[in-house]
Amino acid sequence: MTGVSGYFQAVNRVTSIAIVGLLFGLSGCKENLSAPPTGNGPDNAGPSMLHFPAKDTLADSTGTLLVRVQALDPSGIKSVDFFVLPAKSTYPTQVPLDTAFDAFYTIALNNYKHGTLRFYAVSRDILDHETVTDTVTVTVK
């Protein structure tokens, strides 16, 4: 019987040491409830936006103009709208719900033959800061 009771004493001793070691190890851990450092200060501006082409341009009416729109915001982008004037077609509001947005919009140029069109984009972040890009004029020949 000494062998069996010695076995249980050894298991009990190892279990006690493991529990004490675990409690000692966890006693130094604390949950970090502080806010993470922002690095750039508070987000008080709208998303940064780019579109290509970014300058007034000349285009041929036999093709399609491909416009690339990019937006970045550290707090997250809530929506992006793309507008063409005069409106011959509409583009749905994009809701990326991410910190980066990159999309291509196509404009059929035969609808604007021997005329001009203008386009711009509007973006809002989740804090409702808004950015409106410069308007680009495209002369279609």
Q: What is the pTM of this model?
A: 0.68
SS3 of residue 68 by DSSP: strand
48-140 CATH, one of 2.60.40.10, 3.40.50.620, 3.40.50.300, 3.10.350.10: 2.60.40.10
Kindly list the domain boundaries of the chain, sorted by start residue.
1-30, 48-140
pLDDT at position 65 over 60: yes
Residue 42 has pLDDT above 70, yes or no: no
**Cα 122 versus chain centre, distance:** 15
Averaged pLDDT, 28-34: 55
* Mean pLDDT taken over the chain: 82
Q: Which pLDDT belongs to residue 43?
A: 65
Beta-strand relationship, 48-52 and 64-85 = antiparallel
Averaged pLDDT, 69-78: 92
What number of helices (H) and strands (E) belong to the chain? 1, 7
Distance CA 13, CA 23 (A): 15
- pLDDT number for residue 106: 94
Residue 80 has pLDDT above 90, yes or no: yes
pLDDT reported for residue 45: 80
Token pair in block for residue 120? 């711009």
Higher-scoring residue by pLDDT: 68, 34 = 68
Residue 124 has pLDDT above 80, yes or no: yes
The mean pLDDT value for 112-118 works out to: 94
**pLDDT tens per residue, range 3-23:** 666 666 666 776 777 676 666
Characterize the bridge pairing of strands 115-125 and 136-140. Answer: antiparallel
CA distance 79 to 123: 6
pLDDT score of 140 more than 90 = yes
